[in-house]
Amino acid sequence: MSLVATRPEPGDARPYAFPAIHRVSVAGGEVVAAHLPGQLLATASLLLDAGAAREAPGREGTAGVLAKCLEEGTTTRDSAQYALALEGLGAELSTSVDWDSFRVGVSVPVGLLSRAVTLMAEAARTPRLDPADVARVRDDEVTALRMDWAQPGPRADAALRLDLFGAGERVGRPLHGDPASVAAVTVEDVTDFHGSWLKRPGVLLVAGDLDKLDLKELGAAAFAGTSGTALTPEGPLPVPIAPARRVLLVDRPRSVQSTLRLGHRAPERAHPDYVPITLVATVLGGAFTSRLNHLIREVKGYTYGIRADFAMTRRFGRFGVSSSVQTAVTAPALVDTVGEINRMRRYGVTEAELEVARTWRAGSLTVDMQTPGSIAAALATLVVHGLPDDYYATLRQRLLEATVDEVSAAAAQYLHPEGLTLVIEGDSALIRDDLTVSAIGEIVDAEV
Amino acid sequence: MSAQPAPVAETGYPWPIETTRLDNGLRVIVSEDHSAPVVCVNLWYDVGSRHEPEGQTGFAHLFEHLMFEGSLHVGKTEHMRYVQGAGGSLNATTNPDRTNYFETLPVEHLELALWLEADRMGGLVPALTQETLDNQREVVKNERRQRYDNVPYGDAWLRLLPLLYPAGHPYHHATIGSMEDLNAASLETFQAFHARYYAPNNAVLTVAGDVTPGEVFALADKYFGTIEPVPDVAPGPHGHLPGPATKPVRQTVTGTVPAPRVYLSHRTHPFGTAGYDAITVLAAVLGSGRGSRLYQRLADGARIAQPDYIGAYGVDLAHAPAPLIVTATAKDGVDAATLEAGVAEVVDSMATEPVTEAELERGKALLTTSWWRQMSTVGGRADTLSRYATQFGDPSAAAYRLPQWQAVTADDIADAARTLSPESRVTLIYEPEQTAPEGTEA
């Protein structure tokens, strides 16, 4: 037996084109559509400027409760009739709330999209919002959040967010609220939120075989009965960095692992340095072959996985590292992780690492964008961040052309190992002494 | 107004399929699609945790990890670096039935993927070291902690299997394995494991995407053609069971969980049979979506179950009767006994109250969309073709699954439901620990 010993060279790169984008203004709103010839499935998503940032203080989670209420019946049919009508097409309503947007979407075989969009709009624009239903859905959400918060992670995330952004900013509190803030949401909060933000036309995103779809008809259904104009986005937040590293300890007695959430603030998504910043995160902790995964998983065997990223929204960003490590190695894992961030800030990236990172990021644009759902999500990025229609083609080129100097400079500018907040959710009694000895930062017990 | 059902599909696989078999027994399948410049390379090895003898649980899965740690011409960690450096995404999974490996890349890197897969099929053993084994053993133990041990209800699947399948049955133990067995894993065992199962005549290679069959067949022969077959690949252990379980089994777990949860489970039929198609549609009617019976009656009607944690699904295993699992989690103030009685009543209703036409069409419509979602990527298509070739000897059999779901009748569902009797049921209950009364904590 003789295997081929040398790695084959790649063939000629075949051109990748982001699907053609069509924009149609209709009934006071805009349809932004991507053409996927031959695709059997189609996706439509209503993108509304009604994200969590619009929630009132102390009522975080209002938008999430409203999202769930959309399926509790409409002004013309009760919840069971609505579920049967929509699911009878094979569709399910997918709702999501992030910092910048409120989205309601459906995916179905292409021939059924028009009927699915009509039903989707019926739920988004004319939900029944019966007070008893809203109160019940709110209570269910509180219970679901309590379930979620029983898992490792959400409390650590909340401690980090609060420390980075402060209780005074909406973004200093959890995206979907916590059990207490959702419990405080009233029926009126929910109906007001709907009245203020979900009656505006917004944008309808469509991804599918446009030869089989009538965009004007879809837009007319999505925007029927709406009024008002698009809202002007607020500018980005500043990026302050803490003067010293601190450890926030979130106690989780009897935990067999420690959940790590490290972070500091960073620029917003539309920032001109987005490409080098992304590549910094890829080399540090984005790829499986990243420095962090190599050291903490492959060499040390401390974890099943570790990743670093820059999470970026319209107004702010945050650099973060997340992992779960065995309790006994919590302190050494932290020391090694901070050490890698330091090393990257001081010495930058190598050409060999960057070569992997840029071709991976550029190539994964091609690989990831196969489905109507992923194309619709890409359209949403364009709309939310005000990016041009040729953005993805340009992005691909910019990723491939990024230099070592450019990316190393971004590492020096946007990584701040000395100002990191290190949140550890684990069994404090077992890890506190090791953390003290490691002298990695002042230790504070976090109340979450 | 009742919704018009989705049109009945004549085929669930409207793309071309070409197959060949190399002299060493490797089956090669190609499915052309030139709509995007991407390709998926997918390999199924007909070995899973069902092949593990006692004392070696978790070995098939640990072995899957070792396949990423280098082979004859590929250095440690280079596999990931090459694929990601080419812009690809990759992964592998192990389940009781089989182990699969797959990568989707820009199509100009097709040869890279074939070279990497061939090198680890034919050349893993010389590169396998004690150090690699020790390291990946720790990674897998961390995976077990993260997925199963440190998560509320995370061990439900690990508990259900031994209740569903008798000791000695290939599905009795879970794929992740036990910490004790993983600790005892020796290098020689893994070398023997590779020699026994990682053979071209025990694998299926599927390539889907922007390629032509002729090009792929030639490349497959170039990279895999020299790998020796294993003369007698040992057949998998027998999964035969005399029929449904004959007496109910239950287990109650008290632990740090936020609310009571119940799992009702039954052994049904193997994946791929008409009986299992009926169970698949039954599960959709019973537990998929807000229009399902469970949701309508327990989350919406009686309001004893949390709406986000209710469902019914089959686990698609092909070598023995596969499990149907029905689960619900209690709302505040509802105890486990009330919830269990409620869930059991809804499950029993599938046999006593005929499924309506609207329920049936709703369930099938949801399954239809999920099928096309799976088919919307080259990765989903390649994995499906590998499955049907491995388990049923014919990739084009994939085309029949969707029409067969659509052909299931209300009578078929009633027949299937009658096999879900309380006498053959496995019940797993989670109860929250009693916490100290308020005020006693410091």
- A160 shares a domain with A113: yes
Among B5, B106, B210, the residue with its CB nearest the CB of A363 is: B106
pLDDT of B436 reads 46
In a domain, A15, yes or no: no
Among A301, A355, A371, the residue with its CB nearest the CB of B138 is: A301
- A258 shares a domain with A164: no
In a domain, A369, yes or no: yes
Q: CB–CB of A291/A281 below 8 Å? A: no
- A407 shares a domain with A301: yes
Final residue belonging to a domain, choices A223, A254, A287: A223
Q: Is B434 on the interface with A (CB under 8 A)?
A: no
pLDDT grade for B228, boundaries at 50, 70 and 90:
very high
pLDDT grade for B5, boundaries at 50, 70 and 90:
very low
Among B77, B122, B329, the residue with its CB nearest the CB of A3 is: B122
- Please give the structure tokens belonging to residue B57: 């649980």
pLDDT of B3 reads 41
Q: Which domain holds residue A80?
A: 21-223
Evaluate if residue B2 carries a pLDDT over 60: no
CA angle A204, A208, A209 (to 5 degrees): 130
From CA B314, how far away is CA B363, in angstroms rounded? 14
Are the beta carbons of B145 and A326 separated by less than 8 Å? yes
Stretch(es) of chain B classified as CATH 3.30.830.10: 18-224, 249-432
From CA A406, how far away is CA A431, in angstroms rounded? 39
Task: Return the percentage of chain A with pLDDT > 90, whole number.
Answer: 88
The mean pLDDT value of chain A amounts to 95
Q: Is B201 on the interface with A (CB under 8 A)?
A: no
Residues A198-214, mean pLDDT to the nearest whole number: 97
Please, which residues 355-384 of chain B have a Cβ atom closer than 8 Å to chain A?
A: 358, 361-362, 365-369, 372-373, 375-378
In a domain, A1, yes or no: no
DSSP single-letter state for residue A186? -
Question: Which chain A residues are within 8 Å of B309, Cβ to Cβ?
Answer: 144, 147
In a domain, A112, yes or no: yes
In a domain, A88, yes or no: yes
Which CATH number fits the domain that encloses residue A41?
3.30.830.10
Residues A177-198, mean pLDDT to the nearest whole number: 97
Final residue belonging to a domain, choices A177, A192, A223: A223
pLDDT grade for B235, boundaries at 50, 70 and 90:
confident
What beta strand segments (E) does B166-309 contain? 203-209, 249-255, 261-267
- A400 shares a domain with A326: yes
pLDDT of B9 reads 64
- A123 shares a domain with A218: yes
Residue B97 distance to chain A (closest CA, Å)? 23
- pLDDT per residue over B272-304, tens digit each? 999 999 999 999 999 999 999 999 999 999 999
Question: Which chain B residues are within 8 Å of A294, Cβ to Cβ?
Answer: 77
In a domain, A5, yes or no: no
Residue A405 distance to chain B (closest CA, Å)? 19
Amino acid at A82: Y
In a domain, A136, yes or no: yes
- Please give the structure tokens belonging to residue B196: 């026994």
- pLDDT per residue over B236-280, tens digit each? 899 989 878 889 999 999 998 999 999 999 999 999 999 999 999
Q: Is B187 on the interface with A (CB under 8 A)?
A: no
From CA B250, how far away is CA B263, in angstroms rounded? 10
pLDDT grade for B435, boundaries at 50, 70 and 90:
low
Query: Among the CATH numbers 3.30.830.10, 3.50.30.10, 3.30.565.10, 3.40.50.720, which is that of B249-432?
Result: 3.30.830.10
Domains in chain A, number: 2
Among B85, B118, B135, the residue with its CB nearest the CB of A356 is: B85
pLDDT of B171 reads 97
Q: Kindly report the number of other CB atoms within 10 A of residue B228's CB atom.
A: 12
DSSP single-letter state for residue B148? I
Evaluate if residue B4 carries a pLDDT over 70: no
**Quick one: angle between helices B110-122 and B78-85, nearest 10?**
170
Question: Which chain B residues are within 8 Å of A87, Cβ to Cβ?
Answer: 289-291, 362, 365-366
Evaluate if residue B55 carries a pLDDT over 60: yes
pLDDT grade for A1, boundaries at 50, 70 and 90:
low
Residues A102-118, mean pLDDT to the nearest whole number: 97
- Does domain B18-224 bear CATH number 3.60.15.10? no
Task: Return the percentage of chain A with pLDDT > 70, whole number.
Answer: 100
Residues B335-357, mean pLDDT to the nearest whole number: 97
Are the beta carbons of A367 and B104 separated by less than 8 Å? yes
- pLDDT per residue over A240-298, tens digit each? 999 999 999 999 999 999 999 999 999 999 999 999 999 999 999 997 789 999 999 88
- pLDDT per residue over A333-359, tens digit each? 999 999 999 999 999 999 999 998 998
Residue of B nearest to A9 (CA): B112
- A336 shares a domain with A214: no
Residues 6+ apart with CB under 8 A from A372: A36, A39, A41, A42, A43, A107, A207, A208, B376
Q: Name the more confident of B233 and A89.
A: A89
What ipTM score was computed for the predicted complex, to two decimals?
A: 0.86
Evaluate if residue A447 carries a pLDDT over 80: yes
- pLDDT per residue over B89-135, tens digit each? 999 999 999 999 999 999 999 999 999 999 999 999 999 999 999 98
Among B72, B82, B150, the residue with its CB nearest the CB of A7 is: B82
Sheet arrangement for strand B38-45: B18-21, B27-32, B203-209, B38-45, B99-106, B89-94
Please, which residues 264-283 of chain B have a Cβ atom closer than 8 Å to chain A?
A: none
Residues B62-84, mean pLDDT to the nearest whole number: 92
In a domain, A232, yes or no: no
